[in-house]
Amino acid sequence: MNLKKYLLPVAIMALTACSQTDDTERRIDRLISQMTLAEKIGQMNQLTYGDEEWLAEQIRNGVSGSILNIPDAATVNRLQKVAVEESRLGIPLIVSRDVIHGFHTIFPIPLGQAASFDPAIVEQGARVAAIEASACGIRWTFSPMLDISRDPRWGRIAESFGEDPYLTSQLGVAMVEGYQGDDTSDPSTMAACAKHFIGYGAAEGGRDYNGTTITERLMHNVYMPPFKACVDAGALTIMTSFNENDGVPSTGNRHLLRDILRQQWGFDGMVVSDWNSTGEMIAHGFAADLKEAAAQAVNAGVDMDMMSHAFISQLEELIDEGKVDMETVDNAVRNILRLKFRLGLFENPYVDETYAAEIQYAPEHLAAAKRAAEESAILLKNDGTLPLKGVRTILVTGPMADAQHDQLGTWCFDGEPEHTVTPLAALRKLYGDKVRIIYEPGLGYSRDNDRSKLGRVTALARTADAVVVFAGEEAILSGEAHSLSNLDLQGAQSELLRAAKAAGKPVVAVIMAGRPLTIGGDLDACNAMLYSFHPGTMGGEALAELLFGDAVPSGKCPVTFLKEVGQAPYYYNRNNTGRPASGNEMLIDQIPLRAGQTSLGCSSYYLDTGFGPLFPFGYGLSYTTFEYGDVKLDSNEYTPDQTIKVTFTLSNTGKYDAVEVAQLYIRDVAGSIARPIRELKRFERIALKAGESRTCTFELPVSELAFMGLDKRVKVEPGDFKLWVCGDSVSGEAVDFKVI
């Protein structure tokens, strides 16, 4: 092989990239040298859209480097023109918005996308969002949210990828790559923002904004990996979190923002505070006033202040007093300008005002959204009722059957309900010529307690061959500041299910929600249950095709489903207790009256809810069945620099072509600190035809078994390990191996 032939172009590309980087840094330095202190601080100030005349004056005077929530391309261009053509130095704005799971074409909420276990569909969803949003001039999104979410009471679990660090890492990287593309200067890209740094999802009691108590080892082993993965993938920005951990708010945490993010991880992007999280350090009791809060945030490593007005009002005086160094301000401005150069805003500050109308809801965007909704639906129960075959009449009922707004889910500011394809509309369109569809909602909305139509639901159900009940929760019941202490179906929805079941006909429950609800008591009232975290614009078509078997469910639980909310927080990758339950202990209804005081077995469980969750992480049924066999390793001993090669046979033993999400888990049997009972390390969607068997392979570098141990060093520890290849986090036969 002629190595020169291959190495020379690579070397030229590397030199070109270095030259471009050097040129950008020189341009940044030149700009900074020309800026007044007021202009520097202005770049560090982010404002939200409002009085346009007032905003234009602020931009003209160099008082803001970024604007949130500008509504359309024409407005972006007007304000951008002020920045580029009317301000002294012509530095363009960066326009930002919360584009979380789609812009106009809305994909399933992130928790739903996580249920697909499909990085490709997550990347595609982010790409669609970037294309649609950038056409309106939005070049920066506050996504992906990487908070590990182990408590379903927390409303923002809807925006997360669930409870597992590895799954969150893989899907977070996919989302970053979808937003940013191969070239961030391409006008159709957006800067990703990995948030919330860090620990926000562990808010005490699941109450939003609450403090956390995450130890250093737990932080490094569970909460940091997704952020590190996205930094390595080139995420351009990071957002600090609202919470304080161990008494220190993230926005004022120098150790996190400088020692770890900048020095250890080498992050050279931009750090932004969350909305007023700088000012909220006063309420935390970490700062006495806004001036002290500004000093703490900028000295910790925050580059841009979102909507607390702390930097713009306090930094000049803090510099005069020597409490903030000019070098600190210059470095912050450098990071902001670097972001704008990387996005190509200096070369292409304006947007084509006609293009947005052409690109929204493009057929390929809707097709991708439908596929995402299909892949994210989880079949939790099925006695053979699904798919619906041979039915002539179905009753469609429930408050979520035709809920255009609520189907979109939380935090989608630009979703347009009139474009939502609901299940009722899709069933009528796709199957209305083959099946008689009766519609009686029974309840007007998810919290509706009006039971007056439940009798009519029962009567109509008697005339049908099957009943499909679309239940769940309205979009407003999940998301930021929407924590719940009761996770049962709201209103009279459980009674609606029982009213449908009273007719004696097969009942299918389809749940659309922003979190894993405690639906254990509702399972007996249905023959089959599909769970669809708010599925977005095309959710109706996806669900309709799943119900009739034109698509086959393949989603898996990205979080543990609880029997009762009192189990929270409950997650699969927990450490074992010294007294784990055997499953044979006495439960509350078995305790005899006037029993003598006893510990009933001295093990860890609830007397009333018993053992384990309702559904474990990774669980999900199909219309077919799968069998795993012949799990083999290429060795029984490995060194830290080797790779474990795992082969196994996966067989589709049923009658439907389908996809199985094969999952690989490991356990470090004994470490310098207690290790989780299982940890997900690999997964893959594998399509098999009915009756097909295939030999499959996973490769796992031993280096990925590293963790922060007792000595606070991250390394692979020698010892015994167990490995499973299976369809969820509790099944499978263990295979043993050693690391030497």
Q: List, by residue number, the catalytic residues.
A: 274
The answer to whether 621 and 720 have CB atoms below 8 angstroms apart is no
Provide the token pair at 348: 């292409």
CA-closest candidate to residue 437, choices 463, 419, 472, 404: 463
Determine the Cα–Cα distance for residues 291 and 299; give it in Å rounded to an integer: 12
Determine the Cα–Cα distance for residues 473 and 380; give it in Å rounded to an integer: 18
The answer to whether 123 and 178 have CB atoms below 8 angstroms apart is yes
Which residue is it, tokens 């035809």?
A: 689
Would the CA dihedral through 364, 414, 406, 98 be positive or negative?
positive
Residue 606: count of CB within 10 angstroms of its CB: 14
The helix (H) or strand (E) run that includes residue 721 is strand 719-726
Three-state SS across 447-511?
CCCCCCCHHHHHHHHHCCCEEEEEEECCHHHCCCCCCCCCCCCCCCHHHHHHHHHCCCCCEEEEE
Residue 201 exposed, middle or buried by CB count within 10 Å (0-12, 13-18, 19+): buried
Which residue is it, tokens 């669900």?
A: 543
The answer to whether 180 and 192 have CB atoms below 8 angstroms apart is yes
Cα torsion through 6, 11, 12, 14, rounded to 10: 130
How long is the chain?
A: 740
Amino acid letter, residue 87: S
The answer to whether 533 and 517 have CB atoms below 8 angstroms apart is no
Determine the Cα–Cα distance for residues 534 and 113; give it in Å rounded to an integer: 10
Q: What are the Cα distances from residue 469, in Å, to 444, 634, 731?
A: 13, 49, 31
Determine the Cα–Cα distance for residues 250 and 231; give it in Å rounded to an integer: 17
165-180 helix and 119-134 helix, angle to the nearest 10 degrees: 40
